[in-house]
Structure 1
Amino acid sequence: MATWVQELQFPHIDIPITIDHVTPVMPAGPIPAGAGDCLYLSNLDDVVGARVFTPTLYFYRSNNLSSTQRKLVVKILHDALASVLVPYYPFSGRLRETQNGKLEVFFGPKQGALMVEAHSEMAITDLGGLSVPNPAWSPLIYRFPDEEAYKVVDMPLVIAQVTSFSCGGFSLGLRLCHCLCDGLGAMQFVGAWAATARAGALVTSPVPCWDREFFRPRDPPLVKYPHLEFMRMDDGSSLTSTLWQVKPVQKCYRVNREFQVQIKQLAQPDDQHHSCTTFDAMAAHIWRSWVKALNVTPLDYKLRLTFSVNARQKLRNPPLKDGFYGNVVCLACATSTVSQLVGGKLSATSRSVREARVGVSEDYVRSVIDYVEVDRPSRLEFAGKLTITQWTRFSMYESADFGWGQPVYAGPIDLTPTPQVCILLPDGDSPPGGSMVVCICLPESATSKFRELLSRMDTGDEAPEVE
């Protein structure tokens, strides 16, 4: 069983870098927007959880680059990005708030994306393993010296840092504003950028589609669901204080396919009418293991598990156009008291996750849009919540071949600023559909217990522990 769930280590290192150039990247040709123009963002783009930059990092070793290519990496990436910013021209604008606090994209002079060129005296091999996110990689993602957390207004919407290492390899640290794209949209944008770099000429397949008016609210708005994912709740449990009062540590675990299959079998509902997916089962198992490891109290406190659901295939009347790269995700929300979660059956928890997932219908999406229109949430709600984000279906490696092969690592770096988020990543060392990597934050004192619980196969029916 020990090989089914393997804790992955990453080194705690310092990466000294020198920033050589910071250059704006303007669209390489005319775009259908001039100074003073603005673009509508939907309420799915503008919900408070999307007002962030999503940082991702890609490592490329030197063995796929000739000496000439190494010298041209920054130019190739710069020129390809400039070309892609023509059809993806909204990424060259900026965000601003309108009178009601809603965001829009506007265009002015001297905007564009941002390209940062840096170098390090270290070699990529000095960084240790490149299989899991490592907070020590933070210097490879550019942030302005005086940048505020969660600041998206008046910021470049694409920030790319290319860091060259002494061995000839390099990293691409990328920050895309979540307001313009969800995960699949980001893969579409990066894929177009990479394909353009490989071809030396603009490649866009599919042709990008903005069309955010597709998600305009109804008039009058019609909120048909309680939307527990946004609800303000009294922070009456020990969960949030346990995580935020001490600096949590980031832990990563490789979970092989066999273990996932067995957890899925254990999590099937007793009635067998509706089978759960691997995600339903693993989300339930991770949620329960996390709450048990944190020894959350009181036992009657209601907890929330939220997770993103891609709603593209739910939209039929009418369907979305091909190439749409905006936010089409909704937060599903499963709830459980502490005692039900840690003492109940795994099948009951997985059923709750499944019901929340399938509940994201076309009607639900429209209700979310109207809810945000009526009661625009102004802050993230953390009370009693774990959020699981699934990146296992993103083509992170395949989409990021800029002409030098797929990266040896593609993914996030640091979860600790948002310690109530768990990310499920594809394992770069296994074929698609194989192992996954679970990244989660815990107090140091709870890490051993969590690892034990995550590795354990049981269906539940045990009394909750009170220490």
Structure 2
Amino acid sequence: MAASSLAFVARRGEPELVVPAGPTPRELKRLSDLDDQESLRFYRSVIYFYRASPSRPRADEDPARVIRDGLARALVHYYPIAGRIREIMPGRKLVVDCTGEGVVFVEADADVSLDEFGDALCPPVPCAGELLCLPESNSAAVVDRPLLYVQVTRLRCGGFVFSIQVCHSLVDAPGTTQFLQAVGELGGGGMEAPRVRPVWARELLDARDPPRPDYHHPEYELMANAADDKLRPGDRLAHRAFRFGPEEIASLREQLPPRTRARCSRFLIVSAFVWRCRTVALEYEPGDEVRFMFVVNARGKRDRPLPKGFYGNALTLGVAQTTAGELCSGPLGRAVELIAAAKARIASDDYAQSVADALVLRGRPRFTTARTYLVTDLTKSNLHEVDLGWGMPVYGGPATTTLATFHIPVPGGGITVPMCLPPRAMERFAANVRAGLSQASSRRGRPGNVESAVQSNL
């Protein structure tokens, strides 16, 4: 059965609240000024597929029981996740009320095997709505409700699906991974405490008093004629995934000038190529400003390090901007240079501090989305390496696609890029990808496997 035609109904049990397995403090914990920006007030879904493990003792076979136990034990250490967000006036500042009320947990069964999902799992995951607790939504409602929703779905083959929907105001992708690893260590791993102890320290990413941004922040500035976009809320959208293997990436690299080629990362080359193809497909006017925006982790700065175990939002946004005409008519190397320059601009150790200052000074605006291609690079993340006691997942990452997208690692050094566009624009985009890779392969004097870069996932 093709994954695109897969259909099943998960038999869900009643939702229950999993509370911390031991006593936890009752207190208010203030979220940082990066945490409570408007654009992060939603729930991010992550989904994992695991095969049955023949090495697990029979008593530990039920993944729902093991994961429920791991959750309860992990929440003792990560007790704010068991609380509820409150909004403090004036200013709508978010805080966590550490009530210990718990997180939502659902166990389910589905009469389907893991192999029926196909051999190239990526978003949008087939039948994701049956595997997630809640319908996917960009709703900004995060106040006075559980901060984490979990579903464990047992499959006919003995494998299972583990999905979460977590409030983005509380954690980013590295923070989510850290928490899930603790769930695995304390549940399936049988450990007494997580290897990495959680650290709150949200005050490290607060604005100064008074706020004084040191850098320009175009990510929070509207562009001219922002309302005149090719993508509008409510548009019918097509979903496809595009896979770039080492061969395709090497072919694209050959299009770059020699001085750029050697130091151009996979992220830069794929981002630049896809940004151009997408801009052409959306048929913007030559004078329209277009942007490429990408997520950068503020952890690991030498002069302003965040402590090991920090699990809050430490993300900032880089922005490359130009006109559609310049981007689409110029060489690929020009697009690479624009993105590289944007990365360099936000590399400073104090850039995250400037972001916090700008957010507070401007009243926490949403980041811009008009004529903007937003990417989160997951290839260097360990989000896909969460071991719950059944070994590494077959797939671990986003469950669904949106207009923002991801670079998702695939075995062998490739990258999958999910794409979400209006149907006609998607047809043009796929044609642009094929044409661009064919051109790149012909320059190398070899045919290349162009079709491997276009993977339908409708």
Distance 1:69 1:345, change over 3 A: farther
Distance 1:10 1:127, change over 3 A: closer
Equivalent position amino acid for 2:276 in 1: R
Percent identity reads 30
Asked whether the 8 Å contact 1:236–1:301 carries over to 2, the reply is no
Deviation sequence 1:226-246 (CA, Å, 0-9, x none): 3111112332544224xx463
Rounded Cα–Cα distance in structure 1 between residues aligned with 2:256 and 2:297 = 23
Rounded Cα–Cα distance in structure 1 between residues aligned with 2:59 and 2:293 = 44
Q: Give the equivalent residue in structure 1 for 2:406.
A: 423
Q: 1:232 aligns with which of 222, 229, 233?
A: 222
Q: Give the equivalent residue in structure 2 for 1:50.
A: 40
Q: How does 1:23-422 map to 2 (within 5 A)?
A: 23-31=16-24, 33-34=25-26, 37-62=27-52, 64=54, 68-69=58-59, 72-99=62-89, 100-108=91-99, 111-129=101-119, 131-133=121-123, 134=125, 136-143=127-134, 149-233=139-223, 234-235=225-226, 237-241=228-232, 244=233, 246-268=235-257, 275-296=263-284, 298-314=285-301, 316-317=303-304, 319-360=305-346, 361-379=348-366, 381-398=368-385, 400-415=386-401, 418-419=402-403, 421-422=404-405
Displacement of 1:367 in angstroms is: 1.2
What is the RMSD of the two structures over their aligned residues, measured on CA atoms?
Answer: 2.5
Equivalent position amino acid for 2:431 in 1: E
Q: Report the 3-state secondary structure (helix = DSSP H, G, I; strand = E; otherwise coil) of the residue aligned with 1:62.
A: coil
Displacement of 1:265 in angstroms is: 4.5
Displacement of 1:60 in angstroms is: 1.7
Q: 2:425 aligns with which of 446, 449, 459?
A: 446
Rounded Cα–Cα distance in structure 2 between residues aligned with 1:138 and 1:65 = 31
Q: Report the 3-state secondary structure (helix = DSSP H, G, I; strand = E; otherwise coil) of the residue aligned with 2:13.
A: strand
Equivalent position amino acid for 2:98 in 1: F
Asked whether the 8 Å contact 2:292–2:374 carries over to 1, the reply is yes
Asked whether the 8 Å contact 1:64–1:404 carries over to 2, the reply is no
Asked whether the 8 Å contact 1:64–1:405 carries over to 2, the reply is no
Asked whether the 8 Å contact 1:308–1:390 carries over to 2, the reply is yes
Equivalent position amino acid for 1:424 in 2: H
Displacement of 1:189 in angstroms is: 1.2
Higher mean Cα deviation, 73-82 or 202-211?
Answer: 202-211
Equivalent position amino acid for 1:45 in 2: D
Asked whether the 8 Å contact 1:161–1:173 carries over to 2, the reply is yes
Equivalent position amino acid for 1:397 in 2: H
Gaps of 5+ in 2: 441-458
Between Structure 1 and Structure 2, how many residues are aligned? 433
